[in-house]
Structure 1
Amino acid sequence: MKVRGTAVATSALALCLAAAGCGPDDGEGKGSGGKATASRTPEASASAAPEAGTTPAPTPTSDGRTLTEAELAKVALTTGEVPGYEVAPLEGTDERGTEESEDEACRPIAAIINGSPEPAPAAIVFRTAMDTAEEGKDDQTVVTEILTSHPKGGAEELLRSVREAARACAGGFRTTSEDGPSTYTGVKTLPAPGAGQESFAYQVTGSLEGVRVPLVFHLVRTGSTVVTFYAANFLGAAVPEVPAALVTAQAAKLP
């Protein structure tokens, strides 16, 4: 995700995921507000999967433990681990989004937009990664990470449910929230870098005050831990980028 200046990077992200402050409008130009943002087009080097959006990779070993919040924080990326990116805790995550899908089949996608992946995790940690080379630019790249740990089977269920929802909701869906209705006009799978034991990527298209807004999500699972990467473009129609370097570096830290 890219933002208008670094000063609003964290707050814009918190508004979007935690408080639905930059969610799509109701199709009549009644957007829910929030900071405008933008991002780059995904690199062509991302590898496609046999099933679109899923990339098989050499299976890493995992102890399968359900991590505590403190343990999740220890395995989260830190500044210096990916050259050119500053990583910090994401502020404003105490209040999450309240969007509820009108179609139950699309609920897993709405839950991630809210910043609350389902099934409910045992622990959750938020981070934000910013491209320091673009500091001060209107379109600075900012990516959110949501690290979640799950009881046995929960991590696999999260990936499975999101995959199924992406297929079922390809034609779009509507949600209702405290801020009113929102319309998402389409969901499609994307190529995902091979990482972790399982990975999946998809794009959700909404609108902000009548303007097309592409949102991109990459999910990576190793054992009982899932990392969801989020990027958005609120300044143009180009599909935003989740840099593969962030995905692979974070996946490599998962136990």
Structure 2
Amino acid sequence: MRVRTTVVAAGALVLCLATGCGPDDGGEKGPGDKGPGGKATASASPTAAATPEADPEPVPTSDGRTLTEAELARVALTTGELPGYEIAPLQGAGKRGTEKPDDAACVPITAIINGSPEPAPAATVFRTAMDTSQEGKDDRTVVTEILTSHPKGGAEELLRSVRDAVRACADGFRTTGEDGPSTYTGVRALPAPNAGQESFAYEVTGSLEGARIPLVFHLVRTGSTVVTFYAADFLTDTAPEVPAALVTAQAAKLP
């Protein structure tokens, strides 16, 4: 099924069309693992159903410290916490992009397209969010979430560097990577919902075989944690929506 979606991987525009960019159909994949796209399921084996549930892990408190990967996973949204949305691990999250821009000022933007925000995070967790009201539609929107935790000052630096790059790269830039060159014809800031301690949104216009591919990003920071929401539209040249309800609900879980 073709969807309005995104993928964090080398040659993001080409790979997304090839794979369908669906969510993982099970647990999070390790580095280099691949699996078919599919809808997350709540079914369990009889043996698993008979096992008593462990007490839930406590959500980390807001003390400004750098969260571990396990703590990031606990603050990520899950299915049922935001009505109308299905949350799942991202398929192929172990594969990161290799794009490098021709203009050093555009590195922060390219790093996020690669799925490796800079400054380098201490831990990273990937999720996808799908609007269940669109189930069965050919143009179903899938939003990727990249949750990252950073050493002291790193989260603030990430937001600051991205803001600077959006201004510096407004006229577009080119990149090269393992899958060849990519062209981005423009970058512009967008209105951002009031969420977290600071938030910022922007659009990058990609080009695939002459077609305009809008990529939309929302970044939200609370303490040392940043969540990047990422969506693309491969069917039309209309900028996809990253729902404000999704952004604010995820931001509300950040410690």
- What is the TM-score with the length of structure 1 in the denominator? 0.81
Alignment partner of 2:108: what SS? helix
Extract unaligned runs of 5+ from structure 2.
22-60
Contact (CA 8 Å) 1:20, 1:96: kept in 2 or not?
no
Alignment partner of 2:165: what SS? helix
- RMSD between aligned residues: 1.9
Where does residue 22 of structure 1 map in the other structure?
Answer: 13
Where does residue 182 of structure 1 map in the other structure?
Answer: 182
Alignment partner of 1:118: what SS? coil
Where does residue 200 of structure 1 map in the other structure?
Answer: 200
Where does residue 218 of structure 1 map in the other structure?
Answer: 218
Aligned equivalents of 1:131, 1:196: Cα separation in 2: 22
Aligned equivalents of 1:168, 1:102: Cα separation in 2: 13
Aligned residue pairs, count = 216
**What is the one-letter code of the residue matched to 2:224?**
S
Aligned equivalents of 2:153, 2:250: Cα separation in 1: 21
Where does residue 74 of structure 1 map in the other structure?
Answer: 74
Please list every run of at least 4 consecutive aligned residues from structure 1 whose deviation after the TM superposition is greater than 4 angstroms.
none
Give the drift of 1:95.
Answer: 1.2
Extract unaligned runs of 5+ from structure 1.
24-30, 38-60
Give the drift of 1:93.
Answer: 1.1
Task: Please list, as runs of the form range in 1=range in 2, the aligned pairs for 1:164-175 lying within 5 A after superposition.
Answer: 164-175=164-175
Identity of aligned residues (%): 77
Instruction: Find out whether 1:94 has 2:100 as its counterpart.
Output: no
Contact (CA 8 Å) 2:8, 2:95: kept in 1 or not?
no
Contact (CA 8 Å) 1:100, 1:107: kept in 2 or not?
yes
Where does residue 4 of structure 1 map in the other structure?
Answer: 2
Q: Mark the CA change 1:32 to 1:177 in structure 2 (over 3 Å): closer, same or farther.
A: farther
Aligned equivalents of 2:208, 2:111: Cα separation in 1: 19
Greater gyration radius: 2
Give the drift of 1:18.
Answer: 2.2
**What is the one-letter code of the residue matched to 2:82?**
V
Aligned equivalents of 1:21, 1:157: Cα separation in 2: 25
Task: Please list, as runs of the form range in 1=range in 2, the aligned pairs for 1:138-153 lying within 5 A after superposition.
Answer: 138-153=138-153
Q: Mark the CA change 1:254 to 1:32 in structure 2 (over 3 Å): closer, same or farther.
A: closer
Alignment partner of 1:246: what SS? helix
Alignment partner of 1:199: what SS? strand
Where does residue 135 of structure 1 map in the other structure?
Answer: 135
Aligned equivalents of 2:115, 2:72: Cα separation in 1: 16
